[in-house]
Structure 1
Amino acid sequence: MTAAPPPERSPFLGLLPWPERRAITEALRTETFGGLMLLAAAVIALVWANSPLGDLYTQVREFHFGIPALGLDLSVGHWTADGLLAVFFLVAGIELKRELVVGELRTPATAALPVVAALCGMAVPAALYALTAGLGGGSLDGWAVPMATDIAFALAVLAVISTHLPAALRAFLLTLAVVDDLGAILVIAIFFSDGLNFWALGGAFAGLAVFYLLQRFRVRGWWWYVPLGLAIWALMYNSGVHATVAGVAMGLILRTTADKGEDAAPGARVAHLVHPFSAGVAVPLFALFAAGVSVSGDALARVFTTPEPLGVVLGLVVGKILGVFGGTYLAARFTRARLNPDLSWADVLGLAVLSGIGFTVSLLIGELAFPGQALTEQIKAAVLIGSAVSAVLAALLLLRRNTVYKRLYEEEMLDSDADGIPDIYQREAAPPR
């Protein structure tokens, strides 16, 4: 008896299911706005730091305030990195949880390609940095700087060049960034934690346990969660583990599936409320006080003559391309995934180049890897240069294919009966794309 043929798998970068498409669109709308704010904040920081008011920039960034009795007497720069970025990682944790429960990462078949691409996109830049710094006699401490992809900045580039990437390409980019964020937070927690205070760390874990129980027993009300979240953050900061870990931990605990009778799950409600603040305030303020570096000719020359910053530039520009594109191609070959016939591997290459924009998390890891060192400013400059080069190259590649993207995008958006659901999802026998 002849065995039945295996069911045909959905093509790689094909049409997304309608619920997933709606969730991705909502998430990316806020990220795009936040990316434009981030881009503006970076420009302001560079202009301010290199203007006659540059000393004022430094004074504002180094100004300390807080509650010393609680171990929270921080500079403005540290408040934005340790405090506001915890909100960013809270949203990242919610997005990761959603991807794991109902998104692209929920099944091994759909998760394989973006996860392999993301892992290779972290490993190859780190290895390229280590090779460059090692051969040049530099420090290996910054190996993690070129690992991360900044989804908001990447989407800002797409908005500026007015390309019409179809939803599947945007979803692939978002999944890459989500897995990158998980990798970054693991790196921060494991490699950039020192002088551990186990009492404070135990208190933070106890707070997270209470947070979980509140979710488990369906307790509602911000007056429970906001004070508890602030306490968890403060304890995590004082424990010696980077405070942003508290944000991603709480994001992973929040439920992302709604109970019967609920309009939305707690994770979705929190993301809806907090995401605009994260994208429009928290991340741009971090960029404002992290991106202000010297752009003099001598300072820029040192980026390409010093092994550590050169390793960062090569990691972002070359390592990301080799890692993301190579990992995706090899994974597709070994899993026999069929690329959407409307697209080509040139489109994956464009996304691989775009993933070299490693702004927010790369700047954060750069500060953690070289705290208080003169090299920190060179590393920051390298992140800016590498991200800018990746953005320009990606824009050139993606604009060449924009005619194809525009056609696919218009097909996905066409809603001739105005019922709120695109026609492509209502065809009885729509061919797979």
Structure 2
Amino acid sequence: MRISVKALRGQQFPAVLLLVAAGLGLLLANLPTHDSIAEVLNFHIGVPGTDIDHSISDWIADGLLAIFFLMVAIELRHELTRGELDSLHKAAQPAIAAAGGVLVPIAVYLLIAGPSSGSGAVTAAGWPIPTATDIAFALGVLAMFGRGLPSGVRVFLLALAILDDIIGIIFIAVLFAHDVQWGLFLLAVVAVGAFAILSRMLGRSGHWFIAVLMIVVGVATWVLVSESGVHATIAGVMLGLVMSPAPAERTRHALEPWVNGIILPVFAFAAAFVVIPQLGGEGLSPAFWAILVALPVGKVIGITLFGWIAMRFRPKGQAPALVLPDLIAAGVLGGIGFTVSLLLANLAFASDAGVRDQAILGVLAGSLIALVLSGVVVSARARHYRSLAGGRA
């Protein structure tokens, strides 16, 4: 069956594709196919002349996801400069709600899997995992079940997810850098500056040679960031933030079908390729339970509570960006962590494969619970608004 580019640019089909890819990865990891697929994912490929030598699964997480983060950064810059976050007035409620959607899940996670819970420092390292919101999934659910919802719900959710992405990017850059070589990182910053200049030249001329130079400089930036000890996906963020608006939009438009149709599903498959553990006397890791609760429960409590508090402090006479029932719907949607949460699980427990796999299972299970709940809640709110519209007709 041929998949149209239009479907890959939409919201519903990419979300379904992500879910299928993750489900397939989890299924094949627990069938006799495990060993042959694991051998492929663990096969190493190096870059001649550098110290870069990664397994295919690492190339997916470090290389392909850098392209995804390039797209995220392009959209982020657009929203911050010309979109839904271009003023304090617009950003206030989603920003406060996003803060709650980060702080409460962290608190829930640490309560279950932190040092004070008796679990030790090993599982406590996973506290960033339940802080993310998956834009593709959340907007996909909204598109499937939200017919009739006010446009403000989608705008709020998009702003919330983008702010979550900013926080996730900061976590990746700060928490998971290791033995940073600042000289190489400074060279990467210089390369990013050159990329910014080239993008502005491309915006004026559109010459193919400049586009090729930008690709070369972009790849060089990725290599320098990777070699510096900062996580390689940050290269995509840096490049996306400095790109000139017109070339950036053309790049986002060109990359979108590839990111939605190949990059994210391949990452979802590889990240979800984990063996479901046999339950012995110790049972599942506290990291699993902490993520399972923090995503669907911590997110909805944090986003709803902090979003409601933000409404209390709005200027008199100003309508709230979102009413309380719609805040709850956005909060449940925010519990779908998936892509960035899977990446954070891989990074937080890179040195402990057993805990890492259980954390990944926690992300998948918690996101699935949030996905089902959000379908129910969003459908109910959409029916409410459709009935109101019918009553006014």
TM norm structure 2? 0.88
| Corresponding residue of 1:421 | none
Partner amino acid, structure 2, of 1:311: A
Secondary structure of 1:335's partner?
coil
Q: State which of 225, 232, 241 in structure 1 corresponds to 2:214.
A: 225
Kept in 1, the 8 Å contact 2:8–2:14? The answer is no
Secondary structure of 1:70's partner?
coil
Q: Aligned pair in 2 of structure 1 residues 312, 68: CA closer, same or farther (>3 Å)? A: farther
| Corresponding residue of 1:235 | 224
Q: State which of 175, 189, 203 in structure 2 corresponds to 1:205.
A: 189
| Corresponding residue of 2:358 | 378
Residue by residue over 1:186-229, the C-alpha shift from the partner in whole angstroms, topping out at 9 and shown as x without a partner, is 11101100111223212211101111222455564311211110
Residue by residue over 1:134-168, the C-alpha shift from the partner in whole angstroms, topping out at 9 and shown as x without a partner, is 23222321110000000112233345547554322
| Corresponding residue of 2:346 | 367
Per the TM alignment, residue 395 of structure 1 is displaced from its structure 2 partner at its CA by: 1.4
| Corresponding residue of 1:393 | 373
Q: State which of 136, 152, 156 in structure 2 corresponds to 1:172.
A: 156
Structure 1 residues 115-154: aligned runs within 5 Å: 115-134=95-114, 135-138=116-119, 139=121, 140-154=124-138
Q: State which of 173, 179, 185 in structure 1 corresponds to 2:169.
A: 185
Q: Aligned pair in 2 of structure 1 residues 409, 137: CA closer, same or farther (>3 Å)? A: farther
Per the TM alignment, residue 108 of structure 1 is displaced from its structure 2 partner at its CA by: 0.7
| Corresponding residue of 1:311 | 290
Q: State which of 21, 34, 49 in structure 2 corresponds to 1:41.
A: 21
Per the TM alignment, residue 73 of structure 1 is displaced from its structure 2 partner at its CA by: 1.7
Per the TM alignment, residue 29 of structure 1 is displaced from its structure 2 partner at its CA by: 4.8
Distance 1:330 1:354 in 2: 19
Per the TM alignment, residue 302 of structure 1 is displaced from its structure 2 partner at its CA by: 3.7
| Corresponding residue of 1:294 | 275
Distance 1:291 1:268 in 2: 31
TM norm structure 1? 0.80
Distance 2:101 2:132 in 1: 8
Distance 1:120 1:290 in 2: 27
Q: Aligned pair in 2 of structure 1 residues 186, 113: CA closer, same or farther (>3 Å)? A: same
Q: State which of 276, 279, 282 in structure 1 corresponds to 2:260.
A: 279
Partner amino acid, structure 2, of 1:154: A
Secondary structure of 1:71's partner?
coil
Secondary structure of 2:53's partner?
strand
Residue by residue over 1:263-302, the C-alpha shift from the partner in whole angstroms, topping out at 9 and shown as x without a partner, is xx12211111112211211111111100122346628x94
Per the TM alignment, residue 308 of structure 1 is displaced from its structure 2 partner at its CA by: 2.0
Partner amino acid, structure 2, of 1:360: T
Unaligned ranges ≥5, structure 2 = 1-5
Distance 1:203 1:408 in 2: 58
Partner amino acid, structure 1, of 2:190: A
Q: State which of 81, 100, 104 in structure 1 corresponds to 2:80.
A: 100
Q: Aligned pair in 2 of structure 1 residues 165, 372: CA closer, same or farther (>3 Å)? A: farther
Kept in 2, the 8 Å contact 1:189–1:245? The answer is yes
| Corresponding residue of 2:3 | none
RMSD: 2.5
| Corresponding residue of 2:237 | 248
Partner amino acid, structure 2, of 1:298: L
| Corresponding residue of 2:139 | 155
| Corresponding residue of 1:78 | 58
Per the TM alignment, residue 403 of structure 1 is displaced from its structure 2 partner at its CA by: 1.9
Identity percentage over the alignment? 39
Partner amino acid, structure 1, of 2:341: S
- Structure showing greater radius of gyration is 1
Q: How many residues align?
A: 373
Partner amino acid, structure 2, of 1:255: S
Structure 1 residues 255-266: aligned runs within 5 Å: 255-256=244-245, 265-266=246-247
The answer to which structure has the higher helix fraction is 2
Kept in 2, the 8 Å contact 1:136–1:307? The answer is no
Per the TM alignment, residue 127 of structure 1 is displaced from its structure 2 partner at its CA by: 2.0
Distance 1:57 1:167 in 2: 43
